[in-house]
Amino acid sequence: PKTLLLTGSRDMLTPDNLIFAQKARAAGVEIEVVHEQGMFHVWPLIDMPEARRARDSIVAFLTSETETYHAKAGELALQRTDRGVTAHNLATPLRS
């Protein structure tokens, strides 16, 4: 799945985070990396401007993914309806 990774230049896990991001990309995963200069582990949880920016990134990412999910679910429902599947039995798998 599409992934959001937040890391900071003073986070002791940053080297591993960046290796993870590189491997994820190599495996075909769409990954967005937010690397904040001077930030430490769990900085998004602290009340400061950098944390607000990080939380805004998280909200934007989740909103985008939720909208994408709902759009895809709607397309699937329409495809199934076009094939004679009614709304009340959309959970039933289609047979070829």
**Per-residue pLDDT tens over the stretch 11-55:** 999 999 999 999 999 999 999 999 999 999 999 999 999 999 999
DSSP 39-67: --TTGGGSSSHHHHHHHHHHHHHHHHHHH
**DSSP secondary structure letter of residue 80:** H
**Predicted confidence band of residue 74 (pLDDT cuts 50, 70, 90):** low
Per-residue model confidence (pLDDT) at position 1: 85
Residues 83, 60: Cα–Cα separation, whole Å: 35
Question: Any idea where the domains of the chain sit in the sequence?
Answer: 3-84
**CB count, 10 Å around CB of 18?**
14
Coil, helix or strand at residue 92: coil
